[in-house]
Amino acid sequence: MRRWVLIVAALALVVAACGSDDSGTTSDTGLPDNPERCEPAPQEVLDYLSTGLVSDDLSMPWGFAVKSTDYTDVWIVSTGVEAPDDEDIATFAIRAGTWPTDYIGVVAVDELSQTITTWGEGIDVIVTPATDGVMSAEACALARLETGA
């Protein structure tokens, strides 16, 4: 799974480097991958995301959140996902009326989050690897996963 995360991160960098479309769904802020933008995801957010897990063998014990500048009410959250014999990260976009307690909806951003949760679409935003905040949240989660800190 870790190899898959590295491939997704590399693809995200390529997509971001290629520019954005005119749909307004990708960042035009020019903000680089910036781990300083990360904050620890509040426990209530992790608990909320965990309600969508498809297996009792999975847990989300930690995560990082980044406020996206592409949308006024969207936070990108990359969480640690623990399984009995593996650990990886999954990324979600949470639309919140009031962060971190009033949730409008969640969309699974990457393939892993789409596979291990029931979170789907329906939050009226399109989030891709090039959306502002995705690379930063994933970089923070990947650094935590690699260091085990």
pLDDT digits (tens, 9 = 90+) for 6-32: 444 443 443 343 333 333 333 444 444
65: its two tokens: 């959140």
Question: Using one digit for the tens of pLDDT, what is the confidence trace for 28-68?
Answer: 444 446 778 999 999 999 999 999 999 999 999 999 999 99
Whether 30 maps to a domain, the answer reads no
Whether 75 maps to a domain, the answer reads yes
If one counts the domains in the chain, the total is 1
Whether 24 maps to a domain, the answer reads no
Q: What is the mean pLDDT of residues 97-123?
A: 90
Q: What pLDDT is stored for residue 66 in this prediction?
A: 96
pLDDT exceeds 90 at position 78: yes
Buried b (16+ CB within 10 A) or exposed e, 42-74: eeebbebbeebbeeeebbbebbbbbbbebbebb
Q: What pLDDT is stored for residue 120 in this prediction?
A: 79
Residue 139 sits in which domain range?
Answer: 2-17+36-147
Q: What pLDDT is stored for residue 35 in this prediction?
A: 76
Rounded to two decimals, what is the model's pTM?
0.78
Q: What is the mean pLDDT of residues 104-132?
A: 89
